[in-house]
Amino acid sequence: MVALNYTMFVDKVANGTKRQTIRANSKAHPGCMLQHYEGQRTKKCRKLRPDDVCLSVINVVLMEKVAQPAGNTAFVGKVHLDEFAKNDGFDTYEDMWAFFKARANEHGEFHGKLIKW
Q: For 47-91, what is each residue's pLDDT tens digit? A: 999 999 999 999 999 999 988 887 767 777 788 899 999 999 999
* DSSP line for 34-87: EEEEESTTSTT-EE-SS-EE--EEEEEEEETTEEEETTSPPB-SHHHHHHHHHH
Q: Where are the domains of the chain?
A: 2-116
Q: Give this prediction's pTM.
A: 0.91
Fold assignment, 2-116: 2.30.130
Element (H, E) at 94: helix 93-101
